Amino acid sequence: GNSVTQMEGPVTLSEEAFLTINCTYTATGYPSLFWYVQYPGEGLQLLLKATKADDKGSNKGFEATYRKETTSFHLEKGSVQVSDSAVYFCALSDGAPSGSARQLTFGSGTQLTVLP
Amino acid sequence: DTEVTQTPKHLVMGMTNKKSLKCEQHMGHRAMYWYKQKAKKPPELMFVYSYEKLSINESVPSRFSPECPNSSLLNLHLHALQPEDSALYLCASSPRPGAGPQETQYFGPGTRLLVL
């Protein structure tokens, strides 16, 4: 079956530090990959996505590249801000029969805290 | 506009109460989802509706009863819940079931439920 493995948290960084959150996956076929962010007390927001190998998703300074050879989709940001403090979920979508709604397989989530 | 709305934002109920959660989207999406999220965990899929028909029920106890009256509205009826059902309940929608793994799910802000 499908699975997503994220680096264990929590991650604590100082403002303007470089961020990497590792995500690797196991899936059959050609999944799409997503990063969702959940701010305290809120629902999940789509941060970025990539739908095929070598695609790079980007949004709000965050980037992730779909690497099929290493089955990875690591999240990076060059300079984090206090407002980036949140939980980040890596997810993949695949496996449903044609014509069906897709299910997301989530990683365990990584708590990021950015200190001023 | 990628907005999914959920009401109420917070709900406290006793184990003998009957209550309902409501989810709406006006993006023309034809798949809608209910998830349950416990603290510090990823969301767990409960139900999926495709074209207003229940397509996935992830072995959810019968005290949770979903309903999709039309393509814009999704309800979750609650009856005789247990304290362990306390969680954040998230609704999501996606445009076209069967469009493929690139299909993106958009989440609402959630209803935080406390069962006493």
Is residue B95 within 8 A of residue B105, CB to CB? The reply is no
Mean pLDDT over residues A9-38, rounded?
A: 94
pLDDT tens digits, one per residue of A61-74: 999 999 999 999 99
Q: Residue A5: name the closest of A91, A112, A99, A97 by CA.
A: A91
Of B2, B90, B101, which is closest to A44 when you measure between CB atoms?
B90
Q: Which residues pair with A65 in a beta bridge?
A: A56
Residue A96 pLDDT exceeds 60: no
**Predicted local distance difference test score (pLDDT) of residue B56:** 85
In this predicted model, which residue has the larger pLDDT, A102 or B86? B86
Count of residues for chain B?
116
| Identity of residue B49 | Y
Contact A109 B55 (CB under 8 A): no
Q: What is the DSSP letter of A40?
A: T
Kindly report the average pLDDT of chain A as a whole number. 92
Q: Averaged over A75-101, what is the pLDDT? A: 86
* Structure confidence at residue A1 as a pLDDT band (50, 70, 90): confident
Identify whether the C-beta of residue A24 lies closer than 8 Å to the C-beta of residue A33.
no
Q: What's the pLDDT at A13? A: 97
Any idea what DSSP says for residue A96?
P
Residue range A88-108: average pLDDT? 81
Query: Looking at the partner chain, which of B40, B43, B104 has a beta carbon nearest the beta carbon of A46?
Result: B104
Question: Across residues A27-47, what is the average pLDDT?
Answer: 92
CA terminus-to-terminus distance, chain A: 41
Instruction: Render each residue's pLDDT in chain B as its tens digit; 116 residues.
Output: 569 999 999 999 999 999 999 999 999 999 999 999 999 899 999 999 999 999 888 889 999 999 999 999 999 999 999 999 999 999 999 998 877 767 889 999 999 999 99
Q: Does B38 touch chain A (CB under 8 A)?
A: no
Backbone dihedral region for residue B73 (phi beyond 0: left; psi -120 to 50: alpha; all else: beta): beta
The structure tokens 């965050």 sit at A62
Calculate how close chain B gets to A101, using CA atoms only, in Å.
4
- Interchain contact B27–A (C-beta under 8 A): no
Contacts of B101 in chain A (CB under 8 A): 29-32, 51, 92-94, 102
Residue with the larger pLDDT of the pair A98 and B64 = B64
Burial of A89 (0-12, 13-18, 19+ CB in 10 A): buried
- Which pLDDT does position B99 carry in this prediction? 74
Contacts of B108 in chain A (CB under 8 A): 43
Distance of CA B21 to CAs A2, A89, A102, B39, B73, Å? 30, 25, 23, 19, 11
**Cβ-defined contact of B33 to A106 (cutoff 8 Å):** no
Nearest chain B Cα to A45, which residue? B107
**pLDDT reported for residue B44:** 96
